[in-house]
Structure 1
């Protein structure tokens, strides 16, 4: 309400109590609202004041004994202070002594944003919030640090578990620290005597879009409650603390940190950590994950994601270091142009990689080889996708037919380039993978290999598994027709997707299996007209299919 200026709150009529049962109050985008809230909000649990830059709180008129969630965005700093200091200004005649003792201390969630002149969190921000569990700070453009030392050590927030900081462009650090390294040991000892600062009880920490953040706390390894850490869009962060991360950390995700060159020395202490999920995305300066010699990925690791790290050359800095991750289930590595190899995986360890379920290697143009061990123990591998790796010459152990079939007995999804068919699977025969239900075959990566695919699919000698339910044929630039033999044994096929085949002009529509539930063709203009609903040459053979989607454009799936 852009013209609303004043809330008449019946303050002159003591017999009127209009909002005694209201539990949630939200006031948003009322730029001219000046002051006053209803005085008797005894049941109010959630208060949200956003986009009211002139709003001034009169403390003497406000009683909020049941408040558990407070959000204040784009309001004056004085109003934020007034609401958070209400506890000491309550009239004893208005609220009982018992309720007064709980007033504001019952707040479990505090969210503040777009507060001008807020350079750090004064003592009054969290003073007395003994039940505070979550703190969210967004778009405070003048915020440089959360706590100054003298404030930080005075606070005790036993329930504090979640901290989110987003869009604070001047934030340099979470709190002030003594930069004199000679005093670090003394500082740690002093910390133990004085009790833990309020922030070290965190379980979940996320820092997002803070372009001047240069460092994380040097004593981050002492935050022994921390389970999840997310650092996103912090281009000035060049490294992590030399002292490392707490051993309790289970999930670490780093995204869009342009200056970051390496992640860990801490991870070399493999017996002292419990990391399960590691994700590194869009870090263009990263050259390796492990920056010191003698260690490897933690044996507790379950998920590994690495996307679009253009300078990443190796996962482990020392060639010859091996992976020993018996709990590893998912590995996704995509668009890492300089990555040359995957480290060895201790093939003599029968338990190593035994739980590996998904392995995706996509768009790693310089990946030349995958060292021994990745398939020896991966008896539970259900999804394998290796595409866009044009220098990959062979997969370990796969040339021997019987070995390959023994390794991949659980395979349900396979994605590959046509060149992989020639290099890896031709001698085996895809029809040997009896559990395969989804197959995605992409055309050649290089233009000069385009003749490998030819004008017809499947190519000579390729037999597809009879167990297939879904088949995708992608980016065959010279493909003109699908062979009538393609569907001869695919009696269970339900989904057929064809994309990026501009020369395609013929379909064996009379041979399509009756089980087909979906036909999708993108980017094959010569065939679009023939499949037009009710008019096309092929339509009478396609009408029974529940979902038919045929378009000229070649949008990504």
Structure 2
């Protein structure tokens, strides 16, 4: 039983009480603003929503709505049995509801039937956030007429359709749909959700495409993950031209072949962040048989990881004397084992590029024009790359000219996928470069996974007077360090999986310790 009078209670959470019953007329909760009910009877949920403040009968008869908790702004329900539709009393009584979360309701099929849409259209004027998670029978947010998306419909029809949208979605700002395996489509009128700024869709294995009418122009963040049937995101040029999208994150969509399927379409010009991870069939960012040019002056970050079929990036050519990628500060390419080349414009245009990572791209034999383009990167602060396949041309990279470079990480083997073995590189027994080829600005230096490396050149550190952090990992044959040449500026020295060095670096006992004692942090594993 619940206490009958809880005048100061703001948040009510009732979980895993399948026998829980409530007599709504006997309880007063005048301050209640948030309700979370998980695995309780549907009738008890209704009773809690009917709880009223203690008011006299005359006021109730004068204003029937006063008996309902209109102050409730957040409702979370989960594991509610026999819940196939969103009950009418949810929207009827919670006029100030701002956020609704529905989780693990296994019988939920849709929020409303078609005939209920007009009745609900004036409800929930403050509603902004909707999250539906773990509802395996959900097929749609609400039922729609089959002819709602006819291309020849008149403006009057479109206006009527928008007026027919349930208010629970009309003013939505954030929509999340997660782990709803039967969901095949989003609403045809998704473009009419003119307040929607964030859309997250995860683990919807039956979703094959987005509505042809596109996304609302207000959408700024789109995150998609684990949608096995999804083949493309944008289907027509108007979607892209009208888009104000800033963040696009796509992960684990194995059927996705390209982001833009329309001819002549490019990425939204407003895009700032692009992240693509584990899309095994992705062949190109843009439709393959068109000019693969990217025009994203706002783009700041690009990350593409473990996309096995990706062969090239789109061209990034200057447009009207402006660099298309002038604001790009991060480019991360990892595990794209069929990537063959990167157009020169990605480096020539990216004068703001600060972080560059190229790893696990075993078919990428060289950067553009014999690696000379790296000299354009005057703002580069962090550089991570595999060099085993580039040893013969390493001197041409021109690292010394990168006066802003602070962190350098060089790996001698290639990890082509997260779940695959690393490929042996062709690196020899000695490190392929010396300090004359490195910028004097280096603060952190990582040497990783040189399986055959036995020694480091005594000249490696001669030019690194500012070096503070030195990490040597995964070099099982490395048996010596030029400890007498290590720069006095070092603050940390760490070795890991270098068994021939461990004993020599042991504190107070190792052969090298007299030369390492001045370093504040020495870690050898």
Distance 2:209 2:78 in 1: 28
Tell me the equivalent position of 1:427. 396
Q: 1:506 aligns with which of 468, 480, 497?
A: 480
Tell me the equivalent position of 1:326. 297
* Contact 2:389–2:425, Cα closer than 8 Å, also in 1: no
Q: 2:336 aligns with which of 341, 364, 367?
A: 364
Using the TM superposition, give the Cα deviation of residue 445 of structure 1 relative to its aligned residue in structure 2, in angstroms. 3.5
* Contact 2:148–2:161, Cα closer than 8 Å, also in 1: no
Using the TM superposition, give the Cα deviation of residue 111 of structure 1 relative to its aligned residue in structure 2, in angstroms. 0.6
TM-score w.r.t. the length of structure 2 is 0.91
Tell me the equivalent position of 1:248. 218
Using the TM superposition, give the Cα deviation of residue 91 of structure 1 relative to its aligned residue in structure 2, in angstroms. 5.4
Using the TM superposition, give the Cα deviation of residue 268 of structure 1 relative to its aligned residue in structure 2, in angstroms. 4.8
Using the TM superposition, give the Cα deviation of residue 321 of structure 1 relative to its aligned residue in structure 2, in angstroms. 2.9
TM-score w.r.t. the length of structure 1 is 0.86
Using the TM superposition, give the Cα deviation of residue 243 of structure 1 relative to its aligned residue in structure 2, in angstroms. 1.3
Instruction: State whether structure 2 residue 362 is matched by structure 1 residue 394.
Output: no
Tell me the equivalent position of 1:56. 21
Q: 2:377 aligns with which of 391, 408, 417?
A: 408
Distance 1:523 1:193 in 2: 65
Using the TM superposition, give the Cα deviation of residue 256 of structure 1 relative to its aligned residue in structure 2, in angstroms. 0.8
Tell me the equivalent position of 2:419. none
Tell me the equivalent position of 2:235. 265
Tell me the equivalent position of 2:469. 495
The aligned runs of 1:303-318 (5 Å cut-off) are 303-317=273-287, 318=289
Give the total of aligned pairs.
Answer: 511
The aligned runs of 1:459-474 (5 Å cut-off) are 459=433, 463-474=437-448
Distance 1:462 1:491, change over 3 A: closer
Instruction: State whether structure 2 residue 33 is matched by structure 1 residue 68.
Output: yes
Using the TM superposition, give the Cα deviation of residue 393 of structure 1 relative to its aligned residue in structure 2, in angstroms. 3.4
Distance 1:228 1:423 in 2: 48
Tell me the equivalent position of 1:92. 56
Describe the superposition over 1:14-47 as per-residue Cα deviations: whole angstroms up to 9, x where unpaired: xxxxxxxxxxxxxxxxxxxxxx211111221111
Query: Which ranges in structure 2 are unaligned for 5 or more consecutive residues?
Result: 416-421
* Contact 1:85–1:124, Cα closer than 8 Å, also in 2: no
Q: 2:251 aligns with which of 257, 264, 281?
A: 281
* Contact 2:49–2:93, Cα closer than 8 Å, also in 1: no
Using the TM superposition, give the Cα deviation of residue 207 of structure 1 relative to its aligned residue in structure 2, in angstroms. 0.9
The aligned runs of 1:108-507 (5 Å cut-off) are 108-155=73-120, 156-180=123-147, 185=153, 188-194=158-164, 197-266=167-236, 268-317=238-287, 318-348=289-319, 349-396=321-368, 399-400=371-372, 404-405=374-375, 407-419=376-388, 421-422=390-391, 426-445=395-414, 450-451=425-426, 453-459=427-433, 463-507=437-481
Distance 1:510 1:153, change over 3 A: farther
Using the TM superposition, give the Cα deviation of residue 437 of structure 1 relative to its aligned residue in structure 2, in angstroms. 0.3
* Contact 1:267–1:297, Cα closer than 8 Å, also in 2: no
Query: Which ranges in structure 1 are unaligned for 5 or more consecutive residues?
Result: 1-35, 552-557
SS at 1:315 equivalent: coil
* Contact 2:225–2:250, Cα closer than 8 Å, also in 1: yes
Distance 1:543 1:165, change over 3 A: farther
Distance 1:131 1:470, change over 3 A: same
Using the TM superposition, give the Cα deviation of residue 113 of structure 1 relative to its aligned residue in structure 2, in angstroms. 0.7
Tell me the equivalent position of 1:15. none
Distance 1:49 1:357, change over 3 A: same
Distance 1:492 1:462 in 2: 14
Using the TM superposition, give the Cα deviation of residue 530 of structure 1 relative to its aligned residue in structure 2, in angstroms. 2.2
Report the more deviating stretch, 157-166 or 537-546.
537-546
What RMSD, in angstroms, separates the aligned Cα atoms of the two structures? 2.6
* Contact 1:65–1:102, Cα closer than 8 Å, also in 2: no
Using the TM superposition, give the Cα deviation of residue 95 of structure 1 relative to its aligned residue in structure 2, in angstroms. 8.6
Report the more deviating stretch, 472-481 or 124-133.
124-133
* Contact 1:412–1:436, Cα closer than 8 Å, also in 2: yes
Distance 1:285 1:311 in 2: 6
Distance 1:57 1:540, change over 3 A: farther
* Contact 2:387–2:394, Cα closer than 8 Å, also in 1: no
Using the TM superposition, give the Cα deviation of residue 182 of structure 1 relative to its aligned residue in structure 2, in angstroms. 7.5
